[in-house]
Chains A and B, each alone.
Chain A
């Protein structure tokens, strides 16, 4: 139970945004009483471990708890992203993330046959949020991602008063110092010379990365050599029947990925919680066994040591307002063993930060009947559609060694035809063929289909797996009003209405999904790869990156947006929304670093307004 009945600040959610906000506020505003409410729990938040963890400066207990999660993963049959958490009390009733392709878990799909697609994203409702199972890739969005309306007459620009050298609004310039701060907080390893303005579409950097890049894999270096000078030429333009130029003429660059993974011992505050360098456990998802990869327990521990209070197993179902529209109460169910033993609790509050995700944040606003003026709550739901193109490289590439990916091809994160076809990001896998063919499948196929065993099997297995290359791509989606989170009639284990999703992939996204494949098929052919799959680009088989964005967008006025540029709710001035729900457009890259930077920016704004 919370220790007090009144708090200056309540933060709902303990993922990267909630953790970082709590930490920053605890440093900058030492006198504030701050409570984090977390719906679920895990070993790190259990009361039995909490106090000991806070006293455990050397992280011994933290390592031992992580070991429990690793063993749970090792003994699970399906080795899925949730496997480390199979044994948690709350695994079914509270964490309740969606299971890809299924509609029987947490949120409900609103499917009208022929008019809807499945929203395949997943998220983790537990202490430290989805950072417990993320890959750790942390590129910045590039400047063009923030100006889709100005440049391409699509979506909305991100609202800002900051201008670039030409006097044009530049959200990138606005957020750049916060990107730098977020990189320091999360501990990003990369090479600023590679992510320069030229390679990354005009993205200037004010600081180097806090750590040198994670060493690129053996296969990445083979790929780099094979693609040296290789250009993609598309969309020819003719004048009087003579080829004038190609609208897209791009040289492929292979660069190390900015990632929240240590290339050396690192501590974000230079003092506590020094975490080790990556050992290449090849298991970033679902769990890094040594915490070389950042997760939000880092900032939660720091915040709690600074006096922030945590109340886990606390499912918020309503925010109540006073006569002026400000939030004055947070209502939640506190549970212990299961949802059925819940008790109702209320706390009074001066300011609320909702740090949930693109589904849970609008769900809570809808449940509370808040922020209705713009009509935008729940709308513009986005993801990055994801797919992979695979092939066999002519030489051994020795996959499954090191982080699951160490390099990216950011060449198409912006391009000249973005008005018609979206941008996309390419990541080079370091894990064989990923979902397309697992090592277990290879073994089974060799025995069943090739009818081999013994040394012949061993040789064939090695020969196939060691040449496997995988490129994954995540594509831009546009915000669309009809892609929406609403409330379902069905309730969850707590009796709270579940979120309902309506989702349709538009032509822009479909074209982008196919175009990304055409590029990757050419890249694989250039490398003389064989068994390229898909051999022919297809609209079928889209996956999800689980980058849930939109649904409470920020904007310049209260008529077409839910929050202002700082995530402050237009209608409820003491309510801030943190996280990717405020994105007006989605770009192509993993959202976590931008979520962290936006959080730091929102907190700074709050502090300015509340000296």
Chain B
């Protein structure tokens, strides 16, 4: 199980393109996805482990594209999308399209979508992830966040 969680985390880094996804949530997020997509997730992780993971770190994405993504079935594509949505927004959709929101405040607060665009997670400007490297104080919104 532990091995699959680590592989799930690696897979998540590849599909999100984001090495900043929080390590602390990998088990919770594996469980969340696994609850609804168990067999599909097991298959995807096995494929990932055998066909992609052996590649060099800088080649993981291209390997994933050629070996899995470009050949993916609709079911696999949907699962990949749900994994992306989960890390980006802390919520994803069940197979019957029910929205499954963040289970904890921490999950919501650590979503990656807003930090990627240099914005605070809504309602949590004063509790932002450290890697955002921003201080959200009065008036920050008038500045170019890259300067």
* A interface, CB within 8 angstroms of B: 70-71, 73-79, 215-218, 221, 263-264, 277-283, 287, 289-290, 398-403, 406, 430, 439-440, 443-444, 447-448, 451, 453-459, 461-462, 465-466
Instruction: Scan B94-123; emit 1 where CB is below 8 A from any A CB, else 0.
Output: 000001111111001100011011111011
Does B15 sit within 8 A of A, measured CB to CB? yes
Stretch at the interface among B25-33, B38-46, B138-146: B138-146
Interface residue ranges, B against A (CB under 8 Å): 14-18, 61, 64-65, 69, 77, 80-81, 84-85, 88-89, 91, 99-105, 108-109, 113-114, 116-120, 122-126, 136-145
**B122 near A282: Cβ-Cβ < 8 Å:** yes
Say yes or no: A74-B141 contact (C-beta < 8 A), given A279-B126, A281-B123, A454-B17.
Answer: no
CB distance from B142 to the nearest CB of A (A): 5
Which of A398, A406, A444 is B85 in contact with, Cβ under 8 Å? A444
Given contacts A77-B101, A215-B141, A218-B142, 16 further A-B pairs with CB under 8 A are A75-B103, A75-B108, A77-B99, A77-B100, A279-B126, A279-B138, A280-B139, A283-B122, A290-B126, A398-B118, A398-B144, A443-B85, A451-B77, A453-B64, A454-B14, A455-B17
Q: Judge whether A401 and B120 touch: CB under 8 Å.
A: yes
User: What are the residues of chain B within 8 A of A217 when measuring CB–CB?
Assistant: 141-142
Contact A71 B117 (CB under 8 A): no
Q: Which residues of A contact B113 (CB under 8 A)?
A: 439, 443, 461
Report the minimum CB–CB distance from B141 to chain A (whole Å): 3
* Partner of B138 from A76, A263, A443 at Cβ < 8 Å: A263
Known: A74-B108, A77-B101, A453-B80. A282 touches B142 (CB 8 A): no
Q: Which of A79, A218, A443, A458 touches B141 (beta carbons < 8 Å)? A: A218
- B16, B108, B118, B139: the one contacting A454 at CB < 8 Å is B16
Q: How far is the CA of A402 from the CA of B139 in the complex (A)?
A: 7
Nearest chain A CB to B126 CB, angstrom units = 6
Q: Which residue of A lies closest to B142 (CB)?
A: A215
A210 to B17, CA, bound (A): 47
Contacts of B108 in A (CB 8 A): 74-75
Given A74-B108, A401-B141: A458 in contact with B116 (beta carbons within 8 A): yes
Contacts of B17 in A (CB 8 A): 453-459
Residues of chain A within 8 A of B15, CB atoms compared: 453-454
Report A-chain residues with C-beta under 8 Å of the C-beta of B103.
75
Name which residue of chain A comes closest to B103, CB basis: A75
State the Cβ distance, B114 to closest chain A Cβ, in Å.
Answer: 6
Closest residue of chain B to A439 (Cβ to Cβ) is B113
Residues in A whose Cβ lies below 8 Å from that of B14: 453-454
Instruction: Give every chain B residue within 8 A of A459 (Cβ-Cβ).
Output: 17
Contacts of B18 in A (CB 8 A): 458
Residues of A within 8 Å of B145, CB to CB, are: 398, 401
8 Å CB contact of A280 from B64, B80, B105, B120:
B120
- B141 & A466 in contact (Cβ 8 Å cutoff): no
CB of B105 within 8 A of CB of A457, answer no
Looking at the complex, which one of A216, A400, A443, A457 makes contact with B142 (CB distance below 8 Å)? A216
Centre residue among A77, A215, A401, A406 by max chain B CB count within 10 A: A401
The 3 closest A-B pairs by CB, nearest first: A402-B141, A455-B17, A74-B108
- Whether A73 contacts B100 in the complex (CB less than 8 A), given A401-B141, A453-B80, comes out as no
Name which residue of chain B comes closest to A461, CB basis: B116
Q: Nearest chain B CB to A254's CB is how many angstroms away? A: 14
A101 CA to B141 CA in the complex, in Å?
33
Instruction: Give the CA-CA distance A447 to B76 in the complex, in Å.
Output: 12
**How far is A281 from B45 in the complex, measured between Cα atoms in Å?**
37
B144: contacting residue among A218, A402, A455, A461, CB under 8 A: A218
A358 to B65, CA, bound (A): 57
Q: A400 touching B117 by the CB < 8 A rule?
A: yes
Complex-state Cα separation, A451 to B68, whole angstroms: 12
CA distance A453 to B136 in the complex (A): 30
- Whether A278 touches B100, Cβ cut-off 8 Å, given contacts A289-B124, A447-B81, is no
Q: Which of chain A's residues have a CB closer than 8 A to the CB of B118?
A: 398, 401
Q: Least Cβ distance of A110 to chain B in Å? A: 33
Question: Quick check: B138 and A398 within 8 Å, CB to CB?
Answer: no
- B29 shortest CB reach to chain A, Å: 15
CA distance A277 to B105 in the complex (A): 24
Nearest-neighbour CB distance to chain B for A73, whole angstroms, equals 6
In this complex, what residue of B is CB-closest to A221?
A: B142
Bound CA span A465–B116, Å = 10
Residues from chain B with a CB closer than 8 A to the CB of A78 are 99
CB of B61 within 8 A of CB of A448, answer no
Contacts of B104 in A (CB 8 A): 75
- Name the B residues within 8 Å of A447 (CB-CB): 77, 80-81, 84
Contact, CB under 8 Å: A399 / B119: yes
| A215, B117: Cβ atoms closer than 8 Å | no
Q: In the complex, A281 Cα to B126 Cα: how many Å?
A: 8
How far does the Cβ of B119 sit from chain A's closest Cβ, in whole Å?
4
B residues in contact with A453, CB < 8 Å: 14-17, 64-65, 69, 80, 84
Chain B residues within an 8 Å CB radius of A282: 119-120, 122-123, 125
Contact A280 B138 (CB under 8 A): yes
What would 5 A/B residue contacts be, using CB atoms closer than 8 Å? Answer: A77-B99, A77-B101, A79-B122, A279-B126, A458-B17
Q: Is there contact, CB below 8 Å, between B101 and A280?
A: no
- Residues of B with C-beta under 8 A to A263: 138
Distance between B145 CB and nearest chain A CB, rounded to angstroms: 6
Task: Provide the bound-state CA to CA distance between A77 and B14, in Å.
Answer: 26
Query: Least Cβ distance of A381 to chain B in Å?
Result: 33
- In the complex, A443→B123 CA distance in Å? 21
Nearest B residue to A466 via CB reads B117
CB closest residue in chain A, given B14: A454
How far does the alpha carbon of A217 sit from the alpha carbon of B118 in the complex, in Å?
14
Query: In the complex, A216→B142 CA distance in Å?
Result: 6
Given contacts A75-B103, A215-B141, A455-B17, contact A401 B123 (CB under 8 A): no
Complex partner residue of A398 from B99, B117, B136, CB under 8 angstroms: B117
What's the minimum C-beta distance from B79 to chain A, rounded to whole angstroms?
11
The residues of B that contact A264 with a CB separation of less than 8 Å are 138
Beta-carbon nearest neighbor of B68 in chain A: A453
Other-chain contact of A455, B61, B105, B143 (Cβ < 8 Å):
B61
Known contacts being A401-B140, A447-B84, is A73 close to B89, with CB within 8 Å? no
Q: In the assembled complex, which residues on chain B have CB atoms less than 8 Å from the CB atom of A443?
A: 84-85, 88-89, 113
Nearest-Cβ distance from residue A430 to partner chain B, whole angstroms: 7
CB distance from B103 to the nearest CB of A (A): 7
Known contacts A74-B123, A280-B136, A281-B125: does B16 contact A457 (CB below 8 Å)?
yes
A462 close to B120 (CB less than 8 A):
no
